[in-house]
Chains A and B, each alone.
Chain A
Amino acid sequence: EVQLQQSGPELVKPGASVKISCKTSGYTFTEYTMDWVKQSHGKSLEWIGGINPNNGGTTYNQKFKGKATLTVDRSSTTAYMELRSLTSEDSAVYYCARVNWAYAMDYWGQGTSVTVSS
């Protein structure tokens, strides 16, 4: 069974950074791109970027360049997203999602809530 287990909710201060993890199981980690998606409260979804776990290659939405950094640890089959210089605009739920051959996100993590507040 494919599973993506994300780390828990985060409360962080403005200007700080946060690193979210997405632990995978049930499939070959290096065979599927992992995407990250932002959902601000009550709003639609925004694609942040994706990472190829096989070679670490990344593609970012220009809007999130400099804000998000995607990495993987193949030994633990875990994907990570670090968000830096956080502001209230970064308060949202963040999802990791596995991408299938048709570039559709076929499995999703449960989401990680990030709240930026002093």
Chain B
Amino acid sequence: DIQMTQSPASLAASVGETVTITCRASENIYYSLAWYQQKQGKSPQLLIYNVNSLEDGVPSRFSGSGSGTQYSMKINSMQPEDTATYFCKQAYDVPWTFGGGTKLEIK
């Protein structure tokens, strides 16, 4: 199975700050990487797929980049509503696997 190592595990950011979350795959996943946001007590929601394609309705302050085994998601100008846990997920090979999650809070 492909292992997805996500960092940091938790993070606190101020409103307006830029936040970066990274995901490292145990092997090349050829751009098959998505990011999900899960707010407390809610279902995960798709933010970004294929590394950098924003899902409809997702604010443009979210962006993704990366290649090979290294990927990242950036939030430009953190907002209070961005408080959530974020997960990466590879869709290159089954079983699909998720990162351990990054809990993002407001400082």
Report which A residues bind B (CB closer than 8 A): 35, 37, 44-47, 59, 61-63, 95, 97, 100, 102-106, 108-111
Among the interface residues B44, B45, B87, which one has the most CB atoms of the partner chain A within 10 A? B44
Check if A45 sits within 8 Å of B87, measured CB to CB: yes
10 sampled A-B residue pairs with Cβ under 8 A: A35-B96, A44-B98, A59-B94, A95-B43, A103-B96, A104-B50, A104-B89, A105-B34, A105-B36, A106-B55
Q: A44-B101, A45-B87 are in contact. Are A105 and B44 (CB under 8 A)?
A: yes
Report which B residues bind A (CB closer than 8 A): 32, 34, 36, 43-46, 49-50, 53, 55, 87, 89, 91, 94-101
A37 to B44 alpha-carbon distance, docked (Å) = 10
Of A45, A97, A100, the contact of B49 (CB 8 Å cutoff): A100
> Number of A-B pairs whose CB atoms are under 8 Å?
60
A34 to B36 alpha-carbon distance, docked (Å) = 17
Of A44, A95, A100, the contact of B87 (CB 8 Å cutoff): A44
In the complex, what residues of B have CB within 8 A of residue A59's CB? 94
Nearest opposing residue in chain B for A96, CB measure: B43
A103 to B32 alpha-carbon distance, docked (Å) = 8
B62 smallest CB distance to A (angstroms): 14
Check if B87 sits within 8 Å of A61, measured CB to CB: no
In the complex, what residues of A have CB within 8 A of residue B97's CB? 47
Check if B43 sits within 8 Å of A109, measured CB to CB: yes
Of B32, B43, B45, B98, the contact of A47 (CB 8 Å cutoff): B98
Q: A45-B87, A45-B89, A105-B36 are in contact. Are A62 and B45 (CB under 8 A)?
A: no
A105 to B32 alpha-carbon distance, docked (Å) = 12
In the complex, what residues of B have CB within 8 A of residue A111's CB? 43
Check if B95 sits within 8 Å of A47, measured CB to CB: yes
A103 to B36 alpha-carbon distance, docked (Å) = 13
Of B91, B94, B100, the contact of A102 (CB 8 Å cutoff): B91
Check if B101 sits within 8 Å of A104, measured CB to CB: no
A63 to B97 alpha-carbon distance, docked (Å) = 12
B34 smallest CB distance to A (angstroms): 4
Nearest opposing residue in chain B for A46, CB measure: B98
In the complex, what residues of A have CB within 8 A of residue B36's CB? 45, 105
